């Protein structure tokens, strides 16, 4: 298989309180649709989109997680193996903003430090805002990640969110090329779905169609700042 025939697959988790627009965001990005009717996500939903980014074919695998506390035990398992994260809150929901640091910690506990973007959604409702711009900027600096102001309803800056993450991930992957790696014989998704939820399918090859899946192998004893230092690369 030629190197130019291969693509990179990046797992992105979208986290935040319920009703901030996480499901609507990935529906808008992947399908170009929007509905104002709110339906609570039960556990985890999944969509994907293939894009061209910085000369590379990239498949973004977007995992939409439930924001309600009762689903924590289910959703945390799906954070593992993620290479990027969207932290989402709503302009009109103060609690969702104040919970952002807690959501970031949940992801970090499972994934370490990964490329992350802070998303302030529902900017079309700024006249109802309960969050000051200065507060958002302070949190963004404290978390060390870019903030993107979006309106999923009006389709404003939704593409920017995911293109930013894809660019960050590719940059880290390219930087890691200075290290020594080998391409695993079985190209597998870090988490494979079955009827009972997420399981590690160690001996079952996946994406044998020329996809390079960036896999996290986080140490139990030491957090890796750059998860791509334990991923595969094109030789």
Q: Comparing 160 with 220, which gets the higher pLDDT?
A: 160
The reply to whether 223 falls in a domain is no
* pLDDT single digits (tens) 15-61: 999 999 999 999 999 999 998 766 666 557 889 999 999 989 999 99
Q: Comparing 117 with 72, which gets the higher pLDDT?
A: 117
The reply to whether 194 falls in a domain is no
The reply to whether 142 falls in a domain is yes
- Local confidence band at 13 (pLDDT 50, 70, 90 cut-offs): very high
Q: What percent of the chain has pLDDT over 70?
A: 66
Q: Is the pLDDT of residue 172 over 60?
A: yes
Q: Is the pLDDT of residue 184 over 50?
A: no
Cα separation, 126 vs 4, in Å, equals 45
* pLDDT single digits (tens) 58-91: 999 999 887 666 567 667 788 889 999 999 999 9
The reply to whether 98 falls in a domain is yes
Give me the domain span that covers residue 13: 6-177
Q: Comparing 70 with 207, which gets the higher pLDDT?
A: 70
How many domains are contained in the chain?
A: 1
> What is the pLDDT of the chain when averaged over all its residues?
78
Number of residues in the chain: 235
The reply to whether 14 falls in a domain is yes
From residue 179, give the alpha-carbon distance in Å to each of 146, 216, 228, 229: 27, 16, 10, 8
Instruction: Note the helical H segments in the chain.
Output: 22-31, 72-79, 94-98, 100-111, 133-143, 158-175
The reply to whether 67 falls in a domain is yes
| pLDDT value, residue 6 | 64
The reply to whether 188 falls in a domain is no
CATH at residue 47: 3.40.50.300
Give the number of other CB atoms < 10 A from CB of residue 224. 16
Q: Comparing 8 with 120, which gets the higher pLDDT?
A: 120
From residue 190, give the alpha-carbon distance in Å to each of 5, 42, 64, 171, 216: 21, 21, 16, 21, 7
Beta-carbon contacts of 87 under 8 Å, excluding residues fewer than 6 positions away, are 15, 16, 100, 103, 104, 116, 117, 118, 119, 143, 145
Cα separation, 135 vs 118, in Å, equals 13
The reply to whether 225 falls in a domain is no
- Local confidence band at 208 (pLDDT 50, 70, 90 cut-offs): very low
Q: What are phi and psi of 159, to 5 degrees?
A: -60, -35
């Amino acid at each position: 298989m030629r190197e130019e025939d291969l693509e990179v697959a990046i797992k992105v988790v979208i986290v935040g309180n319920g009703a901030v627009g996480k499901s609507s965001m990935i529906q808008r990005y992947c399908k170009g649709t929007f509905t104002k009717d709110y339906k609570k996500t039960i556990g985890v939903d999944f969509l994907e989109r293939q894009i061209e980014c910085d000369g590379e074919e990239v498949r973004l695998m977007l995992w939409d997680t439930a924001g309600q506390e009762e689903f924590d035990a289910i959703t945390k398992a799906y954070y593992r193996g993620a290479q990027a994260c969207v932290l989402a809150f709503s302009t009109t929901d103060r609690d969702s903003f104040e919970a952002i640091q807690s959501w970031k910690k949940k992801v970090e506990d499972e994934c370490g430090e990964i490329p992350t973007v802070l998303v302030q959604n529902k900017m079309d409702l700024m006249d109802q805002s309960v969050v000051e711009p200065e507060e958002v900027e302070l949190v963004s600096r404290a978390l060390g990640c870019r903030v993107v102001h979006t309106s999923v309803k009006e389709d404003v800056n939704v593409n920017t969110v995911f293109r930013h993450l894809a660019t960050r991930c590719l940059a880290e992957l390219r930087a890691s090329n200075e290290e020594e790696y080998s391409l695993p014989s079985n190209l597998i998704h870090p988490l494979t779905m079955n009827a009972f939820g997420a399981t590690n399918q160690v001996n079952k090859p996946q994406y044998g169609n020329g996809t390079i899946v960036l896999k996290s192998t986080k140490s139990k004893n030491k957090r890796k700042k750059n998860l791509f230092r334990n991923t595969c690369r094109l030789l």
